[in-house]
């Protein structure tokens, strides 16, 4: 199975034979404590120096307590630091919904697995798009919750300002079922069409094909949705803001380990560990201004919809320079969820030149339950 790590458990793990997830089969990204096993975070040298976990991460224990069956640990990008899905050590998991293309990262194996086999769900993390990008490229459902709503204890950190848990599935009802495990405010609140908005500053310079499909969908499904300008800042400026904050925090978390053990890492990842403190301070201030703009421009009930990625999955094996340009464009679409800490789901919806492209639904902070409860609307 090309989506599993070499150190995946040989036997299935089930600790309870009752609960709301009874006998549901799932996979977990190579990013957290799994009792009795080591973690690599996408790097074999990290695995070599890590220790076996004494207990499960709390989120994982919660899932297992409900009767679910863990059937493997999935490949991810090295130190979670890419949205492409190619790992020089473990390879690129096969995306059957976009042949010869990348699955997206960093949660590559977890999304690709759902294009190959009928797991009920897979558990992952999202910092800069690690749920949303693979969901879009692989044509699966992928949910990034409100930042801070799910306990990340014993999950290896990347960038604490943005790190969240997340999950994939091919099934809407499974997305909701997991939501009900982690959240407890599921009221029957319907999303009204008047509150569904199109962020024109994130949509209007899309690839013509995707843009046309998006607006045709909006007109067919809803008719006359209101368009809004979210921010005075360009997408590229916001993406740079995200990149600087993320890079600086990753440097604090991962660079000390790299300097101590001098592991073999890819040139793509290695090139990103340089970030000055003054750039970080400026980016933090810009983020505050962006959040303030969103709060002013969007009523609390607002729901934004837009394509999750500006294009479908890129072809495998491209150069670092070409990937850099692709990452920049994708980050212009994913940075909003991270910078604003808001919940976002990617729903399989459109077709790009190489494969699927998702529709994103983004709500206000802690609107997780509302989004998951209204998936049939979209």
Domain residue extents for the chain = 25-182, 193-377
Instruction: Say yes or no: do domains 25-182 and 193-377 share a fold.
Output: yes
For 342-363, the pLDDT digits (tens) are 999 999 999 999 999 999 999 9
pLDDT at residue 260, rounded to an integer: 87
SS3 content of the chain, % helix, strand, coil (to 5): 40, 15, 45
- Mean per-residue pLDDT for 188-216? 94
- How far, CA to CA in Å, does 112 sit from each of 49, 133, 259? 28, 12, 32
Helices 320-340, 277-297: crossing angle, 10 deg rounding = 50
Model pTM score:
0.96
For 226-264, the pLDDT digits (tens) are 999 999 999 999 999 999 999 899 888 888 888 888 888
25-182, what's its fold? Amidase signature (AS) enzymes (3.90.1300)
pLDDT at residue 53, rounded to an integer: 98
- How far, CA to CA in Å, does 230 sit from each of 22, 202, 234, 263, 333? 42, 8, 10, 42, 13
From the options 3.40.228.10, 3.90.1300.10, 3.40.50.720, 3.90.420.10, give the CATH code of 193-377. Answer: 3.90.1300.10
Phi and psi angles of residue 342, each rounded to the nearest 5 degrees, phi first: -90, 155
- Starting at the edge strand found earlier in the chain, the sheet holding 226-228 runs 69-74, 25-29, 121-126, 164-169, 141-144, 344-351, 356-362, 303-307, 196-199, 226-228
| DSSP reduced 3-state for 294 | helix
Kindly state the percentage of the chain with pLDDT values over 70. 97
Beta bridge partners, 228, equal: 199
């Amino acid at each position: 199975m090309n989506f599993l790590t070499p150190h995946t458990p040989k036997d299935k793990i089930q600790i309870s034979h009752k609960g709301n997830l009874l006998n549901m089969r799932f996979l977990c990204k190579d990013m957290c404590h799994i009792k009795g096993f080591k973690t690599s975070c996408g790097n074999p040298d990290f695995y070599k120096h890590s220790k076996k976990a004494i207990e499960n991460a709390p989120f994982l224990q919660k899932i297992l307590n409900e009767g679910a069956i863990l059937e493997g640990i999935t490949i991810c990008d090295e130190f979670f630091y890419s949205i492409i899905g190619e790992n020089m050590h473990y390879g690129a998991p096969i995306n059957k919904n976009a042949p010869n293309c990348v699955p997206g990262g960093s949660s590559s194996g977890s999304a690709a697995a759902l294009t190959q086999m009928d797991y009920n769900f897979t558990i992952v993390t999202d910092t800069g798009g690690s749920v949303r990008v693979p969901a879009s490229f692989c044509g699966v459902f992928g949910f990034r919750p409100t930042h801070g709503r799910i306990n990340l204890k014993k999950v290896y950190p990347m960038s604490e300002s943005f790190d969240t848990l997340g999950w994939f599935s091919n099934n809407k009802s499974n997305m909701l079922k997991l939501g009900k495990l982690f959240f407890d405010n599921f009221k029957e609140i319907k999303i009204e069409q008047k509150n569904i908005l199109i962020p024109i500053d994130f949509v209007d310079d899309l690839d013509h094909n995707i843009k046309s499909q998006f607006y045709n969908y909006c007109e067919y499904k809803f008719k006359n949705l209101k368009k809004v300008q979210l921010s005075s800042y360009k997408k590229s400026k916001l993406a740079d803001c995200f990149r600087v904050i993320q890079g600086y925090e990753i440097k604090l978390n991962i660079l000390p380990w790299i300097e101590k053990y001098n592991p073999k890492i890819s040139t793509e990842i290695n090139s990103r560990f340089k970030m000055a403190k003054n750039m970080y301070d400026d980016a933090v201030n810009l983020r505050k201004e962006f959040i303030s703009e969103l709060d002013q421009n969007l009523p609390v009930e607002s729901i934004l919809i837009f394509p999750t990625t500006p294009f479908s999955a890129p072809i495998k094996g491209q150069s670092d320079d070409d990937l850099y340009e692709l990452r920049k464009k994708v980050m212009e679409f994913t940075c909003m969820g991270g910078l604003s800490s808001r919940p976002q789901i990617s729903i399989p919806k459109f077709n790009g030149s190489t494969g699927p492209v998702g529709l994103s639904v983004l709500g206000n902070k802690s609107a997780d339950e509302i989004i998951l409860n209204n998936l049939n609307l979209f």
